[in-house]
Amino acid sequence: MTNIMVAKSTVKDYGVWREVFDGNTAMQAEYGLHIKGVYQSKADPNTVFVLIEVEDMARAQEMMKKAEETGVFDKAGVIDAERTLCDDVT
């Protein structure tokens, strides 16, 4: 079974967001998140889509909560974020 999370974020500055995102690979790995792709909108360079393979959906949600509580999203300049969790993807 494959679990996928699609995250769409609007950020203040893509460069700042990308630096923070890339700097959090250890936390992503700790929570069983495997980044499959990062996509930047051509129409709005501050809109970002991330495709993530997730080992455990509950752990993924824990990581998102931790990132929010510890200020990672603020540091990255996230204005708005939507996450779609898809379990048992074929």
pLDDT attached to residue 87:
78
- Following DSSP, what letter does each residue of 14-44 receive, concatenated? HHHHHHHHHTTHHHHHHTTEEEEEEEE-SS-
pLDDT attached to residue 86:
83
pLDDT attached to residue 49:
97
Domain ranges of the chain: 2-89
Show the tokens assigned to 68: 């929010």
Those residues whose C-beta lies under 8 Å from the C-beta of residue 46, and which sit 6 or more positions away, are: 10, 11, 12, 13, 14, 17, 79
Fold held by 2-89? Alpha-Beta Plaits (3.30.70)
Q: Please give the average pLDDT of every successive group of 10 residues along the chain, which has 90 residues.
A: 90 97 95 96 97 92 92 96 80
pTM for this structure?
0.88
